[in-house]
Amino acid sequence: MSFPWHLYLMAAMYIFAGIMHFIKPKMYKRIMPLYIPNHDLMVKLSGVAEIILGIGLCIPALKNISIYGIILMLTVFLLVHFYMLSSEKASAGIPKWILILRLPLQFFLMYWAYWYLNF
C-alpha cells in the first residue's frame, strides 16, 4: 500500500518535533504548565510519543492507531497552548497574536490527521 507524500510530510513533522524535545528541552520545559509534574520527564515522554507516532504513520498496520494517538496528543497539548496565553512569563516571549493563532492550528492538525483515516 502506498501512502500519499503528504502523509510522510506529516510523519516527518512529528518525528522532527519529537527530536527537538531532546535537542532543545529547555524550550519545552519553559512552556509546561506549573500544575504538570516532573517537567523533565514529561518533555522526554512527549518527545518520544511524537517520534513513535510519526514513525507509526509510515507503517500501514499502525497508521490508524497512530492517527488516533496524534489526535489525543494534540488535544492534551492544548493545555500548553492555553497556559501560554495565561501570562507573559508563560508565553516564553512569543507574541500573543501568534499564540492565539496556534489554537486553530491545533484543530487543523487534528483534522489533518483524522483525514488520513480514509487512506
Average pLDDT score over residue span 67-83: 96
The answer to whether residues 55 and 12 touch, using CB atoms and an 8 Å cutoff, is: no
Distance, in Å, from the CA atom of 115 to the CA atom of 113, rounded to the nearest integer, reads 5
Contacts of residue 15, defined as CB under 8 A and 6 or more positions apart, other chains included, come to: 50, 51, 54, 55
pLDDT in tens, 26-43: 999 989 999 999 999 999
Measured between alpha carbons, how far is 21 from 48 in angstroms, rounded to an integer? Answer: 8
Q: Letter for the amino acid at 33? A: P
**d(Cα 3, Cα 115) in Å, to the nearest integer?**
13
Segment 6-26, tens digit of pLDDT? 999 999 999 999 999 999 999
